[in-house]
């Protein structure tokens, strides 16, 4: 008890002498928090704890870390992903003083897991006692605790798949191709994994050919995986999403169930430590999604965007450039062309100028709306930049995209309200 009292006095005198700094600086300049300070730096969370916040940080003392087994400390130092998970479990978004903490049974940490509070015999968070409360920082508050707390470790995607008992063929396929290493590595993933029954639906000769050709099987498996952890609801709001293969998974609804590529998700939103699992009733083959679709010009015409379709056909841009790659076309409506002032129509009568304008409306690679949303700027086919910003709709050069992700055999179309002008 006396030792804790001396420790509290030392901490308080140290903090008072510092004056009010952000959480990171306060920890860095407090001698008794040197280990957690170094771990914050190692994990890459230094920018978070020096950021705007506000945050509540439960900071373990050096003694708290020294109580851990030596192998555990070594594991934290050598596994940055795990270290970051552990430290995020000590951080809450928002500024919560001890007087607020005692009024709530738990808080959600930055890791997304709940942190329990116990007020019997002082304040404890997940069994760790708060030694020093309410150290003010410019971007939040620090509470110093006497024990390192660890998140609840969930099994990863591969282990959860093994545990289901109905994904044995999928797991075997992942192992045979080496794709399993992706799902056991760093990063978050969402998988649409065919059940054993789904694989059994394939003709025997198809299955035999797949296992004779690991590269082809690998491509098929990568087509069932997307980067990031998404619920089914989030996924199907998008309409389509890019798979790890680079091909697009088209998401649609099949009442009362939902499924990609006309498959049905028979079990959804199965959580794992590194993502989400959805079990589907058929194996998806990516060729089916694009080879049967119309070209960009044909699709524009079918969607009554006739003028843009004719101009692209006239210049031959899409047919010339989409042989080896897919394009992204921002297509103005017919009305956008018809409403042009006479003085703005000069480019229509010059083959060279028309090509420049159309190339400015085209990206040399395929980008879905979800990918454009995280792009500040992309270079058009002519080499000039297009700028993107999100308001009520996604804007390209301040022009709203009114319809998106119209997939074609050689790319994707986004329909815009008016012609793009150089910013």
Class of 157-289 in CATH: mainly beta
DSSP 67-109: TS-HHHHHHHHH-HHHHHHHHHTTEEES---HHHHTT-SEEEB
240 with 250: CB under 8 angstroms?
A: yes
Give the pLDDT score at 408: 85
**pLDDT at 185 > cutoff 80:** no
Sheet of strand 275-280, all strands in order from the earlier edge strand to the far edge: 225-227, 189-194, 275-280, 265-272
Give the pLDDT score at 203: 78
Cis omega (within 30 of 0) for bond into 54: yes
CA atoms within 13 A on the CB side of 296: 31
Q: Which residue ranges does the chain devote to CATH 2.30.180.10? A: 2-145, 157-289, 293-416
User: Tell me: the pLDDT tens digits for 90-102?
Assistant: 999 999 999 999 9
CA–CA gap between residue 89 and residue 361 (Å, rounded): 46
Query: What is the fold of 2-145?
Result: FAS1 domain (2.30.180)
**pLDDT at 390 > cutoff 60:** yes
**pLDDT at 292 > cutoff 90:** no
Least confident of 299-303, 310-314, 324-328, 399-403: 324-328
DSSP 24-64: HHHHHT-GGGHHHHHHHHHHTTHHHHTSS--EEEEEE-HHH
User: Tell me: the pLDDT tens digits for 229-278?
Assistant: 888 888 877 777 889 998 888 777 666 566 766 788 888 888 888 889 99
55 with 27: CB under 8 angstroms?
A: no
CATH 3.40.50.300 applies to domain 293-416: no
């Amino acid at each position: 008890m006396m030792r804790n009292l001396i420790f509290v006095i030392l901490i308080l005198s140290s903090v008072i002498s510092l004056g009010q700094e952000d959480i990171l600086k306060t920890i860095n300049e407090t001698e008794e928090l040197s280990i957690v300070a170094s771990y914050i730096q190692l994990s890459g969370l230094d920018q978070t704890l020096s950021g705007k916040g506000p945050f509540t940080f439960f900071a373990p003392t050096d003694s708290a870390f020294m109580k851990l087994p030596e192998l555990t400390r070594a594991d934290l130092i050598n596994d940055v992903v795990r270290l970051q998970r552990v430290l995020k479990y000590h951080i809450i978004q928002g500024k919560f003083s001890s007087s607020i903490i005692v009024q709530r049974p738990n808080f959600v940490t930055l890791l997304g897991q709940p942190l329990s509070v116990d007020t019997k015999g002082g304040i404890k968070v997940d069994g760790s006692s708060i030694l020093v409360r309410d150290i003010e920082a410019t971007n939040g508050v620090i509470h110093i605790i006497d024990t390192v707390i660890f998140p609840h470790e969930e099994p990863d995607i591969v282990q959860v798949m093994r545990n289901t008992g109905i994904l044995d063929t999928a797991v075997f396929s992942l192992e045979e191709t080496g794709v399993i290493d992706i799902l056991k590595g760093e990063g978050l993933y969402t998988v649409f994994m065919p059940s054993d029954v789904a694989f059994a639906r394939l003709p025997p000769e198809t299955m035999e050919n797949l296992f004779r050709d690991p590269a082809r099987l690998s491509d098929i498996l990568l087509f069932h995986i997307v980067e990031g952890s998404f619920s089914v609801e989030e996924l199907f709001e998008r309409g389509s999403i890019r798979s790890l293969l680079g091909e697009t998974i088209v998401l649609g609804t099949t009442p009362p169930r939902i499924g990609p590529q006309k498959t049905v998700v028979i079990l959804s939103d199965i959580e794992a430590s590194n993502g989400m699992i959805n079990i589907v009733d058929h194996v998806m083959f990516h060729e089916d999604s694009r080879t049967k679709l119309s070209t960009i010009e044909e699709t524009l015409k079918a969607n009554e965007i006739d003028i843009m379709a004719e101009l692209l056909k006239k210049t031959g841009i899409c047919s010339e450039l989409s042989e080896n790659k897919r394009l992204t076309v921002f297509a103005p409506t017919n009305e956008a062309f018809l409403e042009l002032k006479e003085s703005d129509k000069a480019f229509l009568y010059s083959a060279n100028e028309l090509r420049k304008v159309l190339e400015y409306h085209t990206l040399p690679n395929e980008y879905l709306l979800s990918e454009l949303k995280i792009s500040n700027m992309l270079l058009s086919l002519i080499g000039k930049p297009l700028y993107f910003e999100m308001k009520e709709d996604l804007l390209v050069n301040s022009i709203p995209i009114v319809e998106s992700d119209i997939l074609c055999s050689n790319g994707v179309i986004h329909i815009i309200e008016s012609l793009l002008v150089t910013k």
